[in-house]
């Protein structure tokens, strides 16, 4: 490629959109510190940054600031997730009744949970109707639970040390993890969910932090190969997350056999 031809590609290069041959040729050229092309790349990075500021304004929820700061240990976690957790528990109970999803836990406990949850369900519906932004994740969780293809697995039921909870896997929507009694990860650390395939290495499935009450609602959105998935697991990782588990999973939820 000539300089002129390369000049036309630096924006796409910096966006990671070139094919491998073009990318390789540009990188080899840049390594020679050609001043003209270094300047062209700098201009391309500036143009790309300006494009990042073109979208329409969108205001993040206030809780996101706390969540971001807590995740790097810059501020104690003070999430307002108590209401979300209560609502999830309530709506989960309703879905279980209406949809007839088979619970693998103790039926007696489930009935008590249902009775307790019914009183909270009306409140949850009101909050949803009011469009409370804090419940956006709950709404996604509910859509998840209502899908007939969703399968569930439990964890922590027989162990003496919490956490406990359930995992829901939907081939088109992704993975939903609901857990309780999970203390927030220490400063500089974070929890990471993993999809454990029947063969091969675990695939990262998102970072999350529990709230001050030890509750978690974590969703990995996107298609999941249900047939090839053996289990969902969670480990504690450095705050930036890891591409492969670096600690032993403290949550492992084996999925039921795929029919």
Partner 1 sequence: MMFLLPILAALLKEDPDLARRLKNRDPRAMAELYDRYGRIAFALIMRIVRNEAAAEDLVQETFIRVWNRVHAFDHERGALGPWVLAVARNRAIDYLRSVEGRLEKSALELDKLEQPALFMNLENSVLNIDRVRQLRGAFEKLTPNQRLVLELAYYEGLSQTEMADRLKQPLGTVKTWVRTALKLLRDELGEAAVA
* Residue ranges binding partner 1 (CB under 8 A): 8, 11-12, 14-19, 42-43, 45-61, 64-65, 67-69, 71-75, 133, 136-137, 140, 190, 206-207, 219, 221-223, 238-241
Residue closer to partner 1 (CB basis): 64 or 116:
64
Residue closer to partner 1 (CB basis): 132 or 213:
132
Alpha carbon 246 to its chain's center: 18
CB of 31 to partner 1, least distance (A): 13
CB of 79 to partner 1, least distance (A): 11
Residue closer to partner 1 (CB basis): 183 or 222:
222
Half-sphere exposure of 254 (CA within 13 A, CB side): 4
Token code pair at residue 156: 């922590």
Please give the radius of gyration of the chain, using alpha carbons only, rounded to the nearest integer. Answer: 23
CB of 223 to partner 1, least distance (A): 6
Alpha carbon 69 to its chain's center: 17
Cβ–Cβ < 8 Å for 110, 96: yes
Residue closer to partner 1 (CB basis): 70 or 164:
70
Residue closer to partner 1 (CB basis): 4 or 257:
4
CB of 56 to partner 1, least distance (A): 6
Residue closer to partner 1 (CB basis): 91 or 164:
91
Q: Which residues contact 193 (CB under 8 A, 6 or more apart)?
A: 175, 177, 204, 205, 206, 207, 208, 218, 220, 232, 233, 234
Count Cβ atoms within 10 A of the Cβ of residue 218 and give its class: 0-12 exposed, 13-18 middle, 19 or more buried: buried
CB of 208 to partner 1, least distance (A): 8
CB of 38 to partner 1, least distance (A): 8
Which strands sit side by side in the sheet containing 216-221, from one edge to the other? 151-155, 164-170, 174-180, 216-221
């Amino acid at each position: 490629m000539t300089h002129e031809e390369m000049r036309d590609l630096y924006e796409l290069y910096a966006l990671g959109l070139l094919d491998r041959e073009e990318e390789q040729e540009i990188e080899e050229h840049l390594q020679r510190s050609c001043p003209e092309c270094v300047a062209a790349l700098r201009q391309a990075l500036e143009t790309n940054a300006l494009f990042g500021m073109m979208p329409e304004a969108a205001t993040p929820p206030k809780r996101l600031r706390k969540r971001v700061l807590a995740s790097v240990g810059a501020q104690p976690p003070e999430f307002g997730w108590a209401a979300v957790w209560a609502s999830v528990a309530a709506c989960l109970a309703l879905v279980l009744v209406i949809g007839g999803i088979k619970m693998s836990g103790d039926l007696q406990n489930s009935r008590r949970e249902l009775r307790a949850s019914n009183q909270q369900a009306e409140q949850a519906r009101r909050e949803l109707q009011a469009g409370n932004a804090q419940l956006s994740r709950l709404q996604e969780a509910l859509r998840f639970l209502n899908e007939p293809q969703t399968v569930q697995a439990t964890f922590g039921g027989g162990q003496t040390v919490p956490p406990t909870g359930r995992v829901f896997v939907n081939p088109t929507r992704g993975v939903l993890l609901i857990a309780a009694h999970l203390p927030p990860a220490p400063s500089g650390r974070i929890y990471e969910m993993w999809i454990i395939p029947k063969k091969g290495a675990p695939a990262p499935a998102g970072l999350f932090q529990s709230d001050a009450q030890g509750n978690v609602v974590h969703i990995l959105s996107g298609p999941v190969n249900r047939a090839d998935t053996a289990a969902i697991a969670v480990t504690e990782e450095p705050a930036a997350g890891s591409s492969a588990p670096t600690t032993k999973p403290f949550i492992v939820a084996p999925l039921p056999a795929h029919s």
